[in-house]
């Protein structure tokens, strides 16, 4: 690759990273405020019902997540090769495949979901009908999100991250508007049902927006029904192995949620629902950084530029870890104060659930670009088998813990253990794929990431240990969170980055500020 091309790619990577990070920050604030209003308007029981149904529908996003990765991977590979005809063929095949699978998913979800709500779900009898309506609305929203995947994959593969960011922000704003409208509805309106209806409206509007944008930006990708046999077979093989890993994660999480509902009160499910929202909102910071790197990692592999590939994988993992750390440390340190300011009263175990879920995702953040590299190769069988085995182990471990009378947070301890083991295995698989020693990645973790995490956590731990930060006001925790963020940035700049990375970061920041 020429020096001009490398400079362009690095500049594109920096712009995409900044756009996605700002997008995630805005969405985090909006989602946290939305969750506060939802909990207050719906109440703990209806909020728990919505969380359980939402998690049940999420079980079937195993296919959604699999198709998303497959579509992004195949479109990006074709873009790297440069043939518009092949890009269009891949896009049309992917969209046709989505439409076929969407019909099958709706049929399966309807049967399984109604059986679960009527036979197994532990809710007040008076709310069964509302739960059924919410389930139907959730399926409709899921359908429109599902058939939007080829369009979002096209946008991301071409690295139009700014457009994707603005559409995503508009989507969460639409949901917030729906929540704010709820209290203005006349007496007798069921807030739970109407909130589900607003989610459907938002999904439809977003689907139309994606279609219009792609029509004007990528006219050569106009849709025509097509199921290319060779490509369909290749995508199906990719999906078949990928479904083990993603399916294990989704199914294991859902089964653990159902176990919590069976062994403990609804309030514990509400606590898990809140923890999942915080976890997803914060984890998006790392996922967005990974998303900025994914197209270039895949294109580097398809072009056999392995030196740049290794550089991008390590840099993406490091940046993802550090950016997650900056956000996670203040939340972990001030969880009770943040939850009180956000929700007012909150269910028991929420603090513990939030903290442990953030620790698990901090470990997980190191593996996102490793996954992308393996996906780019198409050789994913070994990775997905290990992923499925380890993540599915969380379910029996949680069941044994609960049957033994242990508290509900033991399900998170099981997940953290399995995630740590899986990270080590992923490093080995990625290293073997390129005949590259795993010592470089491990050295990065031990000499850069781990010391930075320990030092970043040292200040809040010391202040809490010596009782310096005890306060009943919300101002002190807010100021402390700002201090923790600044402290984390300083530690990362000194300990986490090497000299070349510090110089590069300085150049990009200066260019961004002075532009």
Residues 6+ apart with CB under 8 A from 73: 238, 298, 375, 376, 378
Flag whether pLDDT at 356 surpasses 90.
Answer: yes
Q: What average pLDDT does range 368-397 have in this prediction?
A: 87
Flag whether pLDDT at 65 surpasses 90.
Answer: no
Report pLDDT for 193.
Answer: 85
Helix ranges, 84-148 (H): 84-119, 128-146
Q: 336 lies in a domain?
A: no
Q: 329 lies in a domain?
A: no
Q: What is the DSSP letter of 224?
A: -
Q: 196 lies in a domain?
A: yes
Between 506 and 399, residue with greater pLDDT: 399
- Two tokens, residue 278: 């915080």
Residue 207 main-chain phi, psi, to 5 deg: -60, -45
User: Does residue 302 contact residue 80 with C-beta atoms inside 8 Å?
Assistant: yes
Beta strands per DSSP E along 141-269: none
The SS3 of residue 73 is: helix
Distance from C-alpha of 211 to C-alpha of 150, rounded to nearest angstrom: 10
Distances (CA, A) of 115 to 58, 111, 150: 16, 6, 31
> What pLDDT band is residue 420 in, cutting at 50, 70 and 90?
very high
Tell me: the pLDDT tens digits for 276-313?
878 877 776 667 677 778 888 888 888 778 888 888 88
Q: 353 lies in a domain?
A: no
Q: What average pLDDT does range 395-404 have in this prediction?
A: 89
Q: 437 lies in a domain?
A: no
CB atoms within 10 A of CB 267: 16
Q: What average pLDDT does range 444-458 have in this prediction?
A: 88
**Above pLDDT 70, what percent of the chain?**
89
Q: What average pLDDT does range 383-411 have in this prediction?
A: 89
Flag whether pLDDT at 417 surpasses 90.
Answer: yes
Distances (CA, A) of 415 to 254, 357, 394: 13, 9, 6
- Two tokens, residue 417: 């253990």
> What pLDDT band is residue 467 in, cutting at 50, 70 and 90?
low
Report pLDDT for 437.
Answer: 65
Q: What average pLDDT does range 131-157 have in this prediction?
A: 87
Distance from C-alpha of 364 to C-alpha of 368, rounded to nearest angstrom: 7
Per the structure, the count of domains in the chain is 1
Q: What is the DSSP letter of 170?
A: H
> What pLDDT band is residue 205 in, cutting at 50, 70 and 90?
very high
Orientation angle between helical segments 475-491 and 306-333, nearest 10 degrees: 150
User: Does residue 262 contact residue 395 with C-beta atoms inside 8 Å?
Assistant: no
Please provide the average confidence, as pLDDT, over all residues in the chain. 81
Q: What average pLDDT does range 332-340 have in this prediction?
A: 85
Boundaries of domain holding 129: 43-248
Q: 165 lies in a domain?
A: yes
SS (H, E, C) 311-335: HHHHHHHHHHHHHHHHHHHHHHHCH
The burial of 372, by beta-carbon neighbours within 10 Å (0-12 exposed, 13-18 middle, 19 or more buried), is given as buried
Report pLDDT for 431.
Answer: 84
Q: 383 lies in a domain?
A: no
> What pLDDT band is residue 363 in, cutting at 50, 70 and 90?
very high
Q: Which of 57-61, 66-70, 403-407, 428-432 has the lowest mean pLDDT?
A: 57-61
Report pLDDT for 459.
Answer: 87
**Distance between terminal CA atoms of the chain?**
27
> Considering only CA atoms, which of 86, 82, 89 is closest in space to residue 303?
82
Q: What average pLDDT does range 118-144 have in this prediction?
A: 83
Tell me: the pLDDT tens digits for 232-251?
888 888 877 877 777 777 77
Q: What share of the chain is helix, strand, coil (3-state, %, to 5)?
A: 85, 0, 15
Predicted model pTM: 0.75
Q: 73 lies in a domain?
A: yes
């Amino acid at each position: 690759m020429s020096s001009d091309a490398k400079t362009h790619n690095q500049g594109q990577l920096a712009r995409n990273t900044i756009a996605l990070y700002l997008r995630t920050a805005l969405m985090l604030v909006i989602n946290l405020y939305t969750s506060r209003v939802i909990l207050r308007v719906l109440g703990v029981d209806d909020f728990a019902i919505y969380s359980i149904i939402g998690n049940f529908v999420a079980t079937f996003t195993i296919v959604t997540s699999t198709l998303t990765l497959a579509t992004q991977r195949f479109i990006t590979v074709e873009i790297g090769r440069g043939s518009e005809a092949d890009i269009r063929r891949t896009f049309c095949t992917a969209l046709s495949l989505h439409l076929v699978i969407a019909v099958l998913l709706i049929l399966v979800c309807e049967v399984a979901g109604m059986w679960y709500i009527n036979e197994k779900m532990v809710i007040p009898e008076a709310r069964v009908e509302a739960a059924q309506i919410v389930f139907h609305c959730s399926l409709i929203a899921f359908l429109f999100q599902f058939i939007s995947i080829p369009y979002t994959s096209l946008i991301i593969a071409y690295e139009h991250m700014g457009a994707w960011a603005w559409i995503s922000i508009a989507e969460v704003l639409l949901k917030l508007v729906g929540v704010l409208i709820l209290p203005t509805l006349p007496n007798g309106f069921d807030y739970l049902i109407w909130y589900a209806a607003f989610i459907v409206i938002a999904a439809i509007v977003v689907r139309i927006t994606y279609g219009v944008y792609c029509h004007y930006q990528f006219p050569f990708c106009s849709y025509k029904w097509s199921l290319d046999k060779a490509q369909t077979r290749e995508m199906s093989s990719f999906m078949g192995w990928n479904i083990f890993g993603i399916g294990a994660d989704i199914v294991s999480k859902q089964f653990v949620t159902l176990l919590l509902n069976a062994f403990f009160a609804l309030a514990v499910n509400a606590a898990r629902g809140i923890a999942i929202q915080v976890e997803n909102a914060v984890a998006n910071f790392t996922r967005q950084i990974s998303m900025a790197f994914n197209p270039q990692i895949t294109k580097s592999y398809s072009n056999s530029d392995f030196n740049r590939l290794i550089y991008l994988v390590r840099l993406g993992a490091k940046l993802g870890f550090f950016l997650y750390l900056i956000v996670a440390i203040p939340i972990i340190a001030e969880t009770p104060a943040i939850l009180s300011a956000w929700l007012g009263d909150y269910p028991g175990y929420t603090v513990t659930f939030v903290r442990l879920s953030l620790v698990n995702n901090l470990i997980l953040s190191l593996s996102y670009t490793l996954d992308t590299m393996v996906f780019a190769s198409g050789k994913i069988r070994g990775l997905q088998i290990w992923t499925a085995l380890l993540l599915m182990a969380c379910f029996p471990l949680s069941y044994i813990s609960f049957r033994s009378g242990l508290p509900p947070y033991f399900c998170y301890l099981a997940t953290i253990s399995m995630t740590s083991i899986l990270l080590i295995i992923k490093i080995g698989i990625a290293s073997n794929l390129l005949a590259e020693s795993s010592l470089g990645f491990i050295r990065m973790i031990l000499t850069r990431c781990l010391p930075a995490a320990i030092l970043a956590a040292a200040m809040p731990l010391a202040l809490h240990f010596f009782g310096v930060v005890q306060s009943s006001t919300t101002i002190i925790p807010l100021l402390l969170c700002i201090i923790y963020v600044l402290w984390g940035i300083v530690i990362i700049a000194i300990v986490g980055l090497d000299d070349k990375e510090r110089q590069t970061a300085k150049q990009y920041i200066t260019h961004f500020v002075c532009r």
